[in-house]
Amino acid sequence: MIDLPPYPPLDPSNYDLIVVGTGVSESVSAAAASSSGSSVLHLDPNPFYGSHFASLSLPDLTSFLHSNSASPPPPPSSPPPLPPSSSHDLVSVDIFHRSLYSSVEISSFDSEILEEHSRRFNVDLCGPRVVFCADESINLMLKSGANNYVEFKSIDASFVGDSSGELRSVPDSRAAIFKSKSLTLLEKNLLMKFFKLVQSHLASDDTTVKISEEDMESPFVDFLAKMRLPPKIKSIILYAIAMLDYDQDNMETCRHLLKTKEGIDRLALYIKSMGRFSNALGALIYPIYGQGELPQAFCRRAAVKGCIYVLRMPITALLLDKVSGAYKGVRLASGQEIFSQKLILDPCITVGLESLSSLTDQQNETLSVIVPKAMINTQKIARGICVIRGSVKADISNALIVYPPKSLFPEQLTAIRVLQLGSGLAVCPADMHVLYLSTLCDSDDQGIKALLSAISNLIRLPVTENCQSDSVVENDTSEAKPFLLWRALYVQALAKGEFGGTISSMPSPDENLNYSEMVESAVKLYEQIMGSEELFKEETSVENTAEENHGGVEIEN
């Protein structure tokens, strides 16, 4: 358990809402509730903001992964007696923190250099992740005023990779299509014709050409084939622009076959992002100092509106009405009991089953209704972080690379995403870069194998690592590759959030490249808690002013 500083008792001890965890969804919820006038207490058991979305130094990241990947102790043969509540009208139910991380492997290949610079890193815990310029998270930042607390830089370029080591530019605009050296003249004309059709369909003018309803309900991959797009261009659209995970051509392994309607929506987000901000180089941007700045921006906004923040403060129990079993509050690790009408929990927190035996049938029945069951998905996300000297692409610092399914080896079932970030984003020292990798997987071994294949395709490995690598690389140009200095590999469980009547649980970081579903979870929860009240209603004037002033989002060139 975290060593707690001697906190004085919190005053007041009654709130409209208690939020545990400072991840993206939790921080948006706290900021929205505070903006509406609700009294909010925002807690985090960690000594930093961001929870699973935090950006940490190398030592802090290493410590967090190791301390949050240990197996929980086995339950005692007989449950220990729970400390009674200070109120005779309440009963306490203990909670515990389950681990989201497994198969943690951290390796350092140049300890001297890394020790010298270890505190100059801001490394994301759940990368790779970027922000689309037209993303709902940007809209929410503008509406809430959180955009005043964070700055961004553009992602310079996007590429599609394969086992040969070649990185092909993603032709995502008219100019990029004409400049592309990897496309033939026929392929350029077909791609341009396709983009014109999509833009015509998205136009509000009823006189323009529209995609038929029949085509909109058909699989997107079939529609692309109908447009006579060759496999190379289909792969770019499906995995580097629409950002799909599963092999859309393999019905046996594809768990999410995208319809054309959804595909067009994804292309629309990308197209709108391309031109939203005049000083953004493309569709994607990234926060300076790391993605941990995003939840902190909403936390700062919430604090301005009166939200109270306490870090390094876990909760140890829920407090329930002794007769009805209704939720009343929480017990802090400091021993103080705090009361609220609503409670939002971090995805790691769940009710201890051992304590349920001490409850009456009615209390158990009520508890089963009010406490959400944050389900752990059978699928997982394998994540990797590499610190490298040099760049995977000459003269490019910040880049997104996508390896479509089967592009590295035949058994690769899902796309692998790689995000390279440089010192201009204040995430690492000069002449180094940070690589983030992720892929969906069914097992830890499957996910780690996929990540190692992508790593060996991009990076010059130490001799011992190179001998152990079983990945397939057709043309090894290791002399031109950047050198690996440090690496972390781990697998994260996917926990689905659930909204209860008085107690809700937020989802864990998902497999997506952007924050759309995280923000959507927060918005849905706000609507449930606050009813029909508009989200950040009193901040609407801020959004209008911000849009007039260069889009309201600070993007450095």
Asked whether residue 37 is assigned to any structural domain, the reply reads yes
Do residues 24 and 146 make contact, with C-beta atoms less than 8 angstroms apart? no
Residues 262 and 294 grouped into a single domain = no
- Quote the mean pLDDT of the chain: 87
Q: 312 and 267 share a domain?
A: no
d(CA 383, CA 4) in angstroms, rounded, equals: 31
248 and 312 together in one domain: no
Same domain, 258 and 297: no
CATH of the domain at 254: 1.10.405.10
Residue 221 and residue 360 in one domain = no
Instruction: Take residue 367 and report the two structure tokens written for it.
Output: 């508890």
Compute the distance between CA of residue 214 and CA of residue 257 in angstroms, rounded to an integer. 16
Whether residues 213 and 69 fall in one domain: no
**Are 481 and 465 in contact, with CB atoms under 8 Å apart?**
no
Give the residue with greater pLDDT, 538 vs 391: 391
User: Would residue 473 count as lying in a domain?
Assistant: no
Name the domain count of the chain: 2
Residue 195 in domain: yes
pLDDT over 80 (residue 418): yes
Q: Is residue 258 part of a domain?
A: yes
Q: Which residues pair with 380 in a beta bridge?
A: 441, 493
Quick one: pLDDT band at residue 370, thresholds 50, 70, 90? Answer: low
Paired residues of 123 in beta bridges: 56
> What is the extent of the structural domain holding 211?
173-273
**Does residue 74 register a pLDDT over 60?**
no
User: Does pLDDT of 88 surpass 70?
Assistant: no
* CATH code, 33: 3.50.50.60
Same domain for 268 and 304? Answer: no
Length of the chain: 557
The last residue of a domain, from among 239, 273, 307: 273
**Distance between CA atoms of 399 and 353, rounded to whole angstroms?**
46
Whether 230 and 255 share a structural domain = yes
Residue 441 covered by a domain: no
Q: Is residue 414 part of a domain?
A: no
pLDDT band, very low/low/confident/very high, at 26 (cuts 50, 70, 90): very high
Provide mean pLDDT across the span 178-184. Answer: 84
Give per-residue pLDDT as tens, 378-396. Answer: 789 999 999 999 999 999 9
Q: Are residues 249 and 298 in the same domain?
A: no
* Residue 515 placed within a domain: yes
Regarding whether 356 and 302 lie in a shared domain, the answer is yes
Q: Is residue 389 part of a domain?
A: no
Both 239 and 294 in one domain: the answer is: no
Does residue 311 share a domain with residue 266? Answer: no
